[in-house]
Structure 1
Amino acid sequence: MRYISTRGDSENSSNKTFTEILLGGLAPDGGLYLPESYPQITRTELDQWRGLSYADLAFAVLSKFIDDIPASDLNVLVDKTYTAEVYCNGRAGDNPADITPLRWLEPGLGLLELSNGPTLAFKDMAMQLLGNLFEYVLQKKGEEINILGATSGDTGSAAEYAMRGKHGVRVFMLSPHGRMSAFQRAQMYSLQDENIYNIAVRGMFDDAQDIVKAVSNDHAFKAKYKIGAVNSINWARVVAQIVYYFKGYFAATGGVNGANDQQVAFAVPSGNFGNICAGHIARMMGLPIARLVMATNENDVLDEFFRTGVYRPRGTAETHATSSPSMDISKASNFERFVFDLVGRDPAVIRELWAKVDAGGGFDLSNTPYFANLPKFGFVSGKSSHADRLATIRRTYEKYGVMVDTHTADGLKVGIEKRTPDSPMVVLETALPAKFEETIVEALGRLPERPATMQGIENLPQRVEVMEVSVDAVKQFIELKVGA
Structure 2
Amino acid sequence: MKYVSTRGLRDLGGFSDVLLMGLAPDGGLAMPERLPTLSPDDLEGLRGLDYADLAYAVMHPYIDDIPEADLRAMLRATYHPDVFHSADITPLTPLGNSGLFLLELSNGPSLAFKDIAMQFLGQVFEYVLERRNEELNILGATSGDTGSAAEYAMLGKARINVFMLSPHGRMSAFQQAQMFSLHEPNIFNIAVQGVFDDCQDLVKEINADTGFKARHAIGAVNSINWARVLAQAVYYFKAYFALKLPAGQQVDFSVPSGNFGNVFAGYLAKRMGLPIGQLVVASNENDVLHEFFSTGVYHVRRAAQVAQTSSPSMDIGKASNFERYLYLISGADGAQTGVWWAEVGGGRPVDLRGMAHWDEVRASGFVGGRSSHADRLETIRRTDERFGRLVDPHTADGLLVGERYARAGVPMVCLETALPAKFEDTVKEAVGRTPPRPERFEGIEELPRHFTVMENNAVPLKAWIAQKLGQALQATP
TM above 0.5, one fold? yes
Paired position in structure 1 for 2:301: 314
Structure 1 residue 199, shift from structure 2 partner? 0.1
The gaps in structure 2 that reach 5 residues or longer are 472-477
Paired position in structure 2 for 1:170: 161
Secondary structure of residue in 2 paired with 1:321:
coil
- Kindly report which structure 2 residues correspond to 1:65-464, keeping only aligned pairs within 5 A, or say none: 65-88=62-85, 96-107=86-97, 108-254=99-245, 259-464=246-451
Give the AA of the match of 1:7.
R
Structure 1 residue 32, shift from structure 2 partner? 0.6
Q: Say which of 444, 449, 466 aligns to 2:453.
A: 466
Paired position in structure 1 for 2:25: 28
Contact 1:266/1:427 (CA < 8 Å) preserved in 2? yes
Paired position in structure 2 for 1:46: 43
Q: Distance in 2 between matches of 1:422 and 1:33?
A: 37
Deviations 1:398-456 (A, max 9, x none): 00000000000000000000001141000000000000010011001100000000101
Secondary structure of residue in 2 paired with 1:192:
coil
Question: What is the percent sequence identity of the aligned residues?
Answer: 59
Give the AA of the match of 1:71.
E
Q: Distance in 1 between matches of 2:220 and 2:392?
A: 27
Secondary structure of residue in 1 paired with 2:138:
strand
Q: Say which of 4, 7, 14 aligns to 1:17.
A: 14
Q: Distance in 1 between matches of 2:31 and 2:408?
A: 34
Q: Say which of 42, 53, 56 aligns to 1:56.
A: 53
Q: Distance in 1 between matches of 2:392 and 2:342?
A: 37
Structure 1 residue 367, shift from structure 2 partner? 1.9
Structure 1 residue 360, shift from structure 2 partner? 2.8
Q: Distance in 2 between matches of 1:237 and 1:362?
A: 27
Q: Distance in 2 between matches of 1:67 and 1:400?
A: 44
Contact 1:301/1:311 (CA < 8 Å) preserved in 2? yes
Q: Distance in 2 between matches of 1:128 and 1:198?
A: 19
Secondary structure of residue in 1 paired with 2:95:
strand
Deviations 1:287-326 (A, max 9, x none): 0001101100000001101111111101111000000000
Q: Distance in 1 between matches of 2:124 and 2:265?
A: 19
Paired position in structure 1 for 2:3: 3
Q: Distance in 2 between matches of 1:260 and 1:250?
A: 10
Structure 1 residue 46, shift from structure 2 partner? 1.8
Aligned residue pairs: how many?
A: 470
Q: Distance in 2 between matches of 1:219 and 1:445?
A: 51
Secondary structure of residue in 1 paired with 2:157:
coil
Q: Distance in 1 between matches of 2:39 and 2:297?
A: 36
Q: Distance in 2 between matches of 1:247 and 1:2?
A: 26
Q: Structure 1's 434 and 339: CA in aligned 2 closer, same or farther, altered over 3 A?
A: same
Q: Distance in 2 between matches of 1:206 and 1:198?
A: 17
Deviations 1:80-133 (A, max 9, x none): 100000112xxxxxxx31111100003321000000000000000000000110
Structure 1 residue 24, shift from structure 2 partner? 1.1
Structure 1 residue 373, shift from structure 2 partner? 2.4
Deviations 1:49-89 (A, max 9, x none): 1111111111111112110000000001001100000112x
Structure 2 length-normalised TM = 0.97
Secondary structure of residue in 1 paired with 2:81:
coil
Give the AA of the match of 1:314.
R
Give the AA of the match of 1:361.
R
Q: Distance in 2 between matches of 1:481 and 1:195?
A: 10
Paired position in structure 2 for 1:482: 469
Deviations 1:355-403 (A, max 9, x none): 1112233221112111122221111110000000000000000000000
Give the AA of the match of 2:291.
E
Give the AA of the match of 1:4.
V
Structure 1 length-normalised TM = 0.96
Give the AA of the match of 1:404.
V
**RMSD over equivalenced CA pairs, Å:** 0.9
Q: Distance in 1 between matches of 2:27 and 2:314?
A: 23
Q: Distance in 2 between matches of 1:140 and 1:252?
A: 40
Give the AA of the match of 2:312.
P
Secondary structure of residue in 2 paired with 1:23:
helix
Q: Distance in 2 between matches of 1:213 and 1:309?
A: 26
Paired position in structure 2 for 1:93: none
Structure 1 residue 167, shift from structure 2 partner? 1.8
Structure 1 residue 15, shift from structure 2 partner? 4.8
Structure 1 residue 29, shift from structure 2 partner? 0.4
Q: Distance in 2 between matches of 1:143 and 1:427?
A: 40
Secondary structure of residue in 2 paired with 1:75:
helix
Q: Distance in 1 between matches of 2:277 and 2:292?
A: 20
Q: Distance in 2 between matches of 1:477 and 1:253?
A: 53
